[in-house]
Each structure stands twice: as C-alpha cells, then as structure tokens.
Amino acid sequence: MDPSPHGEIPKSFNTNRRTSVSAEALNPAKLKSESWKPPQNNLSTTEEESVADSLKNNFLFKQLDEKSKKTVISALESKNFKKDSVIIKQGDEGDFFYIIESGTVDFYVNDVKVSTSSDGSSFGELALMYNAPRAATVIAVTDVTVWALDRLTFRRILLEGSFNRRLMYEDFLKDVEILKSLSDQERSKLADALSTEKYQKGDKIVTEGEQGENFYLIESGTCQVYNNKLGEIKKLGKGDYFGELALIKELPRQATVEALDNVIVATLGKSGFQRLLGPVVDVLKDKDPTKVQDPTIVH
C-alpha cells in the first residue's frame, strides 16, 4: 500500500493491455456426462502437503470435498518466474490460478503498488470465476516458483464441486423437519449459503456464555447439549439444529454443545440466517433443542 519509489511500477513494464475476455461457458448439470479428465502431475508428498496447507483458508477451495481438493492438487503444474517478470498483467484474460511456492510478488493497480504476497499466498481466482479481465498486475520481486491451475480445470472442478454440494445440501435440508415449509427456491438459496465444519469427539462446537455468530445443522454424528446450571440437557443427531437464539435475540449462548463422536455440521452466518431463514424464524425460536427451560433465564 506504499506509493513510495518501491510502490511505482517498474519502468521496463509495458502498461498497454488487452481488455477482451472470451471464456468457455460451462453448464454444471452436463459436466458428468462429458469425457473431460483433469491433468495429473506428479507432486511429491511434501509438495502436496504444502499446497494443501496454502489452500485450506482460500474462500473457494475450503468448501470442496476431499476428492475435489485432491483433483486440484494433482492438476497443478510448477512454473518459474525470474525477478521482475510479469506474472499477470492488469486487463489481460485470465488463464491460470496461482499459489506461491517460494518468492515474493507485488500487486499493482493502475500502475500503483497496492500489496505484496509471498510463500503460501494465492492469487488470480477472480478473473477465472467471473470471466473478467485481470484486476491487477502481478510482478515478481524475487525469483518466484508458483503452482498454477489452468482455467478450464479451475472452472470445471469448482463448478462441479459447487453443483454437487448444492444437490447434497438440498437433499439434506428436505429431511430437516423444521425447514419443510421452505420453497424449493428458498431451499436452494440456503444450500448455496451453507458452509461445512468438522469436529472430533470432545470438541466444543458452541460454548455457554459466548456470543453467537453461526446457526448449525447437524449433517452427521451426535452432540451433547449441557450447561453449568442444569447439567446434561439433550443429545442431538442428524437433522437437529442449534444456535439460532443467540442470533435472533443477540444473547450469549445458553448452553454448550459438545461432539460425542466425529460430527459434521452445516453452518450459516448471522447475515445469511437473517436473510434466508426469515420464513421459519418464529418456529425455530420456539423449538430450539438447546433452549433452556429455566424461568430464571430471560429469552
């Protein structure tokens, strides 16, 4: 973000840039019927672990299932760029998504340096997602090695993964009794907004007294609900939900929910909860299985 001399684009860089973008349109419903196969490159175990660690917090890839993540990692190819090389030019068509294996890069927007990234960072996904021109120029500050994922593989894996994930969640939501009043369209929107979280035995999913930021639906596994005053309150399993009272009334969590075995939950943040579950909020509020039936607690 420093517009000092180091924040100026190198004089040797040609700022003339293309702005036309032409990318393939993909229909996720047809993907499975096609014979396309992703590229497979031979990464070492150490390289795979390094890439997986870099991708785990990426907002796109963290929602993929394990199979899709492995497909992404296998499809990556190594590319080397010398110091001062232009990796991406603002306005160009996007062709690759990049993960920095080693080295440092600077980002420029309209010839002004805006940020710097190094080992483990990723960039380039937005142009591939939206068929938009590159939003920034990326220049190697040092010699740089990156892992690159081509546009077609990127879009195929993400679209197919998102499509399969939506179908899975739609089927799951149909079996949640409290959500049966939602229309198909409302259910689809909810499915797209859910995130997956995994917990092991003994993990606390929510803790009594903490402020709530998420609503939870149990996909699999068993949980115990308890609080300090009443002890064990109830066990929860697949299709049960919890956490909405803290969002509706902005109260601290009234109980702790602990995983009794391996548990997978679908989560919905506060804004998504208010936007997507308005039609069933009153019913959820009355039937919350973690609601403590104690007259000393104000709901």
Tell me the torsion sign for CA atoms 85, 90, 96, 102.
positive
My answer on whether 226 and 123 are in the same domain is no
**For residue 245, what pLDDT is reported?**
78
Listed in sequence order, the DSSP H helices in the chain are 45-55, 66-75, 125-130, 151-174, 184-193, 244-248, 270-276, 281-287
Q: Does residue 111 contact residue 15 with C-beta atoms inside 8 Å?
A: yes
Amino acid at 1: M
Q: Calculate the average pLDDT of the chain.
A: 79
| Cβ proximity of 179 and 124 under 8 Å | no
- What residues are designated binding site for 3',5'-cyclic AMP? 125, 134, 244, 253
CATH of the domain at 110: 2.60.120.10
Determine if the pTM surpasses 0.75: no
When divided into structural domains, the chain yields a total of 2
Q: Does residue 145 register a pLDDT over 60? A: yes
Do 106 and 197 belong together in one domain?
no
- Residue ranges for the known binding site are 125, 134, 244, 253
Residues 87 and 118 in one domain: yes
Confidence check: pLDDT of 225 > 70 = yes
Tokens 């927007």 correspond to what residue? Answer: 109
